[in-house]
Chains A and B, each alone.
Chain A
Amino acid sequence: MTELATKGERHSGAAYRDRFELLQKENFFPAADWMRQQRQAAISRFVELGFPTTRWEQWRHTNVAPLIATEFAQPMESQVALDAIAPLLLDGHPYLVFVGGSLSQELSSNDDLPSGVTLTGLEGAFDLAPELLEEHLGRYALWEDQPFAALNTAFWTDIAVIHVAPNVILDRPIRVIHWATANGRPVMTSPRTLIIAETGSRVVVLEQFVNLEEGSSWFNAVTEIVAGPNAVVECVQVRQGGPGSFQTTFTAVHQAADSRVRLHSLTTGGRLTRVDISANLAEPGAELILGGLYLVRGREHVDHHTRIDHVAPHCTSRENYKGILDDEGQGVFNGLVVVHPDAQQTDAMQSNRNLMLSDNALVHTNPQLEIYANDVRCTHGSTVGQLEEEALFYLRTRGLAVPEAQRLLIDGFAEEVLALVNNPALRGSLEQTVQAWITARELARD
């Protein structure tokens, strides 16, 4: 393993380049020619960009210095007990488990799938349809502008691939679990997911990032979602970080004509979490629903940056992000909607609301609209508030104790976003995660 970085080089990312070149020489990375070229271009781009600093407009409120200062190793092969993962699995749902960025076939269950649905790691995808990978992988994630996406593109070792053939419908959610390993020292894991829903198909995916190991593990993930014409995709991303963990994830959505995508995000825990979502409504009639919930306590820092590009006319986007912040937690929401010159008849609504449970919590909220077309309907807004005293009193006069009344109000606040989840099994599992967070919060106060 290469040593990371002399101090002066850290910000430039040169240490990561040195390590990349060494691993590349050892044929560590799976490679086709086009992949090798993409990795090479990505690591070069990463070195040019360097790590973001707070002088970058998009990183003003999120300082990644602690991440830069940490020496991360490559993930080692490691065993994760099935017991640890079992609680995450829903009965009868196909799933893949990635441990430390690599598919664990023995922990996965992907044989019970209807024909036309592929759920596999890199090896399986290569056997089935190499041309599909070449057509899509790395084509949507904006690794030329985003240093962390570039770093993932250089360093990923395996991929979760979900492919649904034209007009195939699968309503049972597919799960992809990315499990971090630590082995006693900080590890950088590079999860990578590619979801392709072909014309007229329908698929539901739960992508779960679990980073609960002790120590400062880092998930640097990229997910690409491609919805073909008239396809329907629902994807829930859950990020659960441990106290010392870092998470940077970039999700790119590309939508063809009349496709409908629902992308939900639930983030809890983690020392530093940065979530980037970039959606491209590329053809007419596409519809996007973005729902997000971030639950922040302790001294956690959670930053969401979303960008929706209305490129084609007659597209609709609805974005509803909510934050619940306690203790000295810090949140950032930056939502940008860009309506391109040809995107007439755009209908875009964006909302960010924050519930502050502590006087010491902090949130920066910045919804933004850039409109270059003249016949559009766009609204946006954000709020920051506390639990309403009136509501709390009302519930107490109905016999509810203060913690119970607070729980009801916090639940009620989150409900609007959870209600955007169509699939009942997924909605139920998200509700449980929210409940568990509230319970943990109550216990911490006792």
Chain B
Amino acid sequence: MNIRELNNNHSLNQDKNIRMLEIKDLHVSVEGQEILKGINLSVGAGELHALMGPNGSGKSTLAQVLAGRDIYQVTAGEVLFEGRDLLALTPEVRARKGLFLSFQYPVVISGVNNIYLLQAALNARRKERGEEALDAVDFLALVRNRLQAVQMDESFLYRPVNEGFSGGEKKRNEILQMLILEPSLAILDETDSGLDIDALKIVAEGINNFRTPQRSFLVITHYQRLLSYVEPDQVHVISEGRIVKTGGPELAHELEERGYGWLQGGQPGVTAKAAVGP
């Protein structure tokens, strides 16, 4: 079996008019300090959007809020995921309904084997879709197939989650989880940082093979590097809690050459090139 065959579309939403993810005027604070100051972002089914920005611009906060981290307070705005109110759902329900966050810093879970978590996570997702839990044989076949896709050794399954993993192994392990859980929306938070070029290519290939006309991606990155291998539909630049520029793939290259300086200070108008819409 190959990955594309397994990538059935489990999205509840076949209506082309309903966006995969719609963020409207989202304001978020932590400990009284506003970090996101009115984010607007819309990702259609099958689209891959890149969110770029300097350190401290609010990229990771947005990823964590979308996944449901409760240390952040949403003070205004709304988020729709396949048309439903995302913010009303607990983190686990978001996951089961097909939202996946690849962590910037994957967490070590001592004493819990990787394969145990994979199975528990997959079964939670399948139950939500009204599917039976996979039996041990089918589950192992699926996992082995996905391991190959990220070029991970089977021994990783029997090690505690992320314990003693190198930076690159942790990121590949996140992609492995994504490939097994088959989310409809994958948010990849700096999955490319800390990767050497070989690992980066593996991760990029994992993403590319996983793209379907229904599945969407929000790829958060500091660097343009990953976007040389993964072609975005749109690139957004976030600065000081606002999206200051939106463009096509060429925007990423421009950022690589010019840095973020020219976009900061909330003056998107000074750019030489006009924003390119979808």
Q: How large is the interface on B (under 10, 10 to 19, 20 to 34, 35 or more residues)?
A: 20 to 34
**A115 close to chain B: CB less than 8 A:** no
CB pair B111 A415 closer than 8 Å: yes
Please measure, in the bound complex, the distance between the C-alpha atom of A404 and the C-alpha atom of B71, giving whole angstroms.
Answer: 21
Query: Shortest Cβ distance from B190 into chain A, in angstroms?
Result: 16
Known: A394-B107, A397-B95, A399-B181. A415 touches B101 (CB 8 A): no
CB pair B124 A399 closer than 8 Å: yes
Given the complex, which residues of A lie within 8 Å of B46, measured CB to CB?
Answer: none
CB pair A415 B112 closer than 8 Å: yes
Please measure, in the bound complex, the distance between the C-alpha atom of A289 and the C-alpha atom of B92, giving whole angstroms.
Answer: 40
**B125 close to chain A: CB less than 8 A:** yes
Question: Which residue in chain B gives the minimum CB-CB distance to A393?
Answer: B69
Given the complex, which residues of B lie within 8 Å of A390, measured CB to CB?
Answer: 107
Query: Shortest Cβ distance from B201 into chain A, in angstroms?
Result: 26
**B274 close to chain A: CB less than 8 A:** no
Kindly supply a per-residue 1/0 record for chain B positions 151-170, scoring 1 wherever the CB is within 8 Å of any chain A CB and 0 otherwise.
00000000010000000000
Known: A408-B112, A411-B112, A412-B160. A399 touches B107 (CB 8 A): no
CB pair A393 B91 closer than 8 Å: yes
Given the complex, which residues of A lie within 8 Å of B96, measured CB to CB?
Answer: 399
CB pair A416 B111 closer than 8 Å: yes
Please measure, in the bound complex, the distance between the C-alpha atom of A397 and the C-alpha atom of B117, giving whole angstroms.
Answer: 12
Within the complex, which residue of A394, A399, A411, A415 is in contact with B125, where a contact is CB–CB below 8 Å?
Answer: A399
CB pair A394 B68 closer than 8 Å: no
**B121 close to chain A: CB less than 8 A:** yes
Q: Count A interface residues, CB 8 Å.
A: 24
CB pair B69 A408 closer than 8 Å: no
**A117 close to chain B: CB less than 8 A:** no
Please measure, in the bound complex, the distance between the C-alpha atom of A238 and the C-alpha atom of B96, giving whole angstroms.
Answer: 39
**B223 close to chain A: CB less than 8 A:** no
CB pair A415 B90 closer than 8 Å: no
Known: A391-B107, A396-B92, A413-B110. A404 touches B160 (CB 8 A): no
**B221 close to chain A: CB less than 8 A:** no
Kindly supply a per-residue 1/0 record for chain A positions 130-149, scoring 1 wherever the CB is within 8 Å of any chain B CB and 0 otherwise.
00000000000000000000
Please measure, in the bound complex, the distance between the C-alpha atom of A389 and the C-alpha atom of B95, giving whole angstroms.
Answer: 17
Known: A393-B69, A393-B91. A398 touches B111 (CB 8 A): no
Please measure, in the bound complex, the distance between the C-alpha atom of A182 and the C-alpha atom of B120, giving whole angstroms.
Answer: 43
Query: Shortest Cβ distance from A389 into chain B, in angstroms?
Result: 8
Known: A390-B107, A391-B107, A393-B69. A398 touches B112 (CB 8 A): no
Within the complex, which residue of B69, B70, B111, B120 is in contact with A413, where a contact is CB–CB below 8 Å?
Answer: B111
Given the complex, which residues of B lie within 8 Å of A69, measured CB to CB?
Answer: none
Question: Which residue in chain B gives the minimum CB-CB distance to A404?
Answer: B120
Known: A399-B121, A413-B111. A394 touches B181 (CB 8 A): no
Please measure, in the bound complex, the distance between the C-alpha atom of A166 and the C-alpha atom of B64, giving whole angstroms.
Answer: 63
Given the complex, which residues of A lie within 8 Å of B103, measured CB to CB?
Answer: 394, 397
CB pair B110 A398 closer than 8 Å: no
CB pair B111 A412 closer than 8 Å: yes
Please measure, in the bound complex, the distance between the C-alpha atom of A413 and the C-alpha atom of B91, giving whole angstroms.
Answer: 23
**A436 close to chain B: CB less than 8 A:** no
**A400 close to chain B: CB less than 8 A:** yes
Kindly supply a per-residue 1/0 record for chain A positions 403-418, scoring 1 wherever the CB is within 8 Å of any chain B CB and 0 otherwise.
0110011011111100
CB pair A398 B121 closer than 8 Å: yes
Question: Which residue in chain A gives the minimum CB-CB distance to B107?
Answer: A394
Question: Which residue in chain A gives the minimum CB-CB distance to B120?
Answer: A400
CB pair B109 A397 closer than 8 Å: no
Query: Shortest Cβ distance from B244 into chain A, in angstroms?
Result: 28
Within the complex, which residue of A398, A413, A414 is in contact with B117, where a contact is CB–CB below 8 Å?
Answer: A398
Please measure, in the bound complex, the distance between the C-alpha atom of A412 and the C-alpha atom of B71, giving whole angstroms.
Answer: 25
Within the complex, which residue of A394, A402, A416 is in contact with B109, where a contact is CB–CB below 8 Å?
Answer: A394
**A395 close to chain B: CB less than 8 A:** yes
Please measure, in the bound complex, the distance between the C-alpha atom of A408 and the C-alpha atom of B124, giving whole angstroms.
Answer: 14
Query: Shortest Cβ distance from B29 into chain A, in angstroms?
Result: 18
Query: Shortest Cβ distance from B213 into chain A, in angstroms?
Result: 24
Query: Shortest Cβ distance from B234 into chain A, in angstroms?
Result: 25
Query: Shortest Cβ distance from A431 into chain B, in angstroms?
Result: 11
Known: A400-B121, A408-B120. A395 touches B90 (CB 8 A): no
Question: Which residue in chain A gives the minimum CB-CB distance to B121?
Answer: A398
Given the complex, which residues of A lie within 8 Å of B107, measured CB to CB?
Answer: 388, 390-391, 393-394
Please measure, in the bound complex, the distance between the C-alpha atom of A408 and the C-alpha atom of B161, giving whole angstroms.
Answer: 11
Known: A393-B69, A395-B117, A408-B117. A400 touches B92 (CB 8 A): yes
Given the complex, which residues of B lie within 8 Å of A415, measured CB to CB?
Answer: 110-112
Query: Shortest Cβ distance from B229 into chain A, in angstroms?
Result: 25
Please measure, in the bound complex, the distance between the C-alpha atom of A413 and the C-alpha atom of B110, giving whole angstroms.
Answer: 7
Query: Shortest Cβ distance from B25 into chain A, in angstroms?
Result: 24
With a 10 A CB-CB cut-off, give which of A390, A391, A395, A409 has the most chain B CB atoms: A395
Please measure, in the bound complex, the distance between the C-alpha atom of A397 and the C-alpha atom of B102, giving whole angstroms.
Answer: 9
Question: Which residue in chain B gives the minimum CB-CB distance to A388?
Answer: B107
CB pair A398 B120 closer than 8 Å: yes
**A401 close to chain B: CB less than 8 A:** yes
Please measure, in the bound complex, the distance between the C-alpha atom of A26 and the C-alpha atom of B7, giving whole angstroms.
Answer: 82
Within the complex, which residue of B92, B110, B121 is in contact with A412, where a contact is CB–CB below 8 Å?
Answer: B110
Please measure, in the bound complex, the distance between the C-alpha atom of A388 and the C-alpha atom of B91, giving whole angstroms.
Answer: 16
Query: Shortest Cβ distance from A418 into chain B, in angstroms?
Result: 9
Given the complex, which residues of B lie within 8 Å of A394, measured CB to CB?
Answer: 103, 106-107, 109
Query: Shortest Cβ distance from B189 into chain A, in angstroms?
Result: 11
Query: Shortest Cβ distance from A90 into chain B, in angstroms?
Result: 24
Given the complex, which residues of A lie within 8 Å of B181, measured CB to CB?
Answer: 398-399
Given the complex, which residues of B lie within 8 Å of A391, measured CB to CB?
Answer: 107-109
Question: Which residue in chain A gives the minimum CB-CB distance to B100?
Answer: A397
Given the complex, which residues of A lie within 8 Å of B100, measured CB to CB?
Answer: 397
What 6 pairs across the A-B complex have the smallest Cβ distances? A412-B111, A415-B111, A399-B124, A398-B121, A396-B91, A394-B107
Q: Which residues from chain B sit less than 8 Å from chain A, CB to CB?
A: 67-71, 90-92, 94-96, 100-101, 103, 106-112, 116-117, 120-121, 124-125, 128, 160, 177, 181
Q: Which residues from chain A sit less than 8 Å from chain B, CB to CB?
A: 388-391, 393-402, 404-405, 408-409, 411-416
Q: In the complex, given contacts A397-B68, A397-B92, A412-B160, what are 14 additional A-B residue pairs having Cβ atoms less than 8 angstroms apart?
A: A394-B106, A395-B117, A396-B92, A398-B117, A398-B120, A398-B124, A399-B96, A400-B92, A408-B109, A408-B117, A408-B120, A409-B109, A413-B110, A414-B111
30 A–B contacts from the bound complex (CB under 8 Å): A390-B107, A391-B107, A393-B70, A393-B107, A394-B107, A396-B68, A396-B90, A396-B91, A397-B95, A397-B101, A398-B117, A398-B124, A399-B96, A399-B120, A399-B125, A399-B128, A400-B124, A401-B124, A402-B92, A404-B120, A408-B109, A408-B120, A409-B109, A411-B112, A412-B110, A412-B111, A413-B110, A414-B111, A415-B111, A415-B112
